[in-house]
Amino acid sequence: MGIHYKSLKRANPQDRTLPEKFYAAVVKNGSSDFETLAEMISEQSSLSSTDCLAVLNILEINIERELRQGRIVRLGKLGNFQISISSKGFATDTEVTSEGITNARVLFRPAPRLKKALKNLSFNRVI
């Protein structure tokens, strides 16, 4: 079974006067929450689902804590999380202050194993 996609008509965000084009877009196939993941991990290990849920909750807290400290969080063969910022441009170095920061976001960089998995996906068009 592959990943389902559909065709969507979209405008060019850089030039709205250009004709719209059609693009492939993923059709979502549900989601998994912490409870579901904990249950799955429990079935694949000797841990209870409660123990797994506790570890996942602690992991979430610690990832946020480390990101708030400006650290890169490396999650093994999954990938890395880190904070990235956007700011206004200034003419001189001394003008750059925290007030010029306009946005902060979390970046995820997949590890090589996950990147490789992305190259081997199959796709099925749905209508």
Identify any residues that bridge with 86 across adjacent strands, giving them in sequence order: 103
Question: Cα dihedral angle (82, 87, 93, 95), rounded to 10 degrees?
Answer: -130
Q: What pLDDT score does 13 carry?
A: 83
- Pairing between β-strand 73-75 and β-strand 101-110 as defined by DSSP bridges: unpaired
Q: Which amino acid is at 75?
A: L
Say how many CA atoms lie within 13 Å of 105 toward its Cβ.
7
- Is residue 107 situated within a structural domain? no
- Is residue 38 situated within a structural domain? yes
Q: What pLDDT score does 12 carry?
A: 86
Q: What pLDDT score does 47 carry?
A: 95
The whole-angstrom separation of Cα 79 and Cα 111 is: 4
- Is residue 11 situated within a structural domain? no
Two tokens at 79?
A: 């990938």
Q: How many domains does the chain have?
A: 1
Domain of 51 in residue numbering reads as 32-71
Using alpha carbons, list the distances in angstroms from residue 57 to 34, 46, 62: 8, 19, 9
Low-confidence residues of the chain, pLDDT below 50? Answer: none
- Is residue 56 situated within a structural domain? yes
- Is residue 76 situated within a structural domain? no
- Is residue 106 situated within a structural domain? no
∠ Cα 11 16 17 (to 5°): 115
Tell me the pTM. Answer: 0.80
- Is residue 120 situated within a structural domain? no
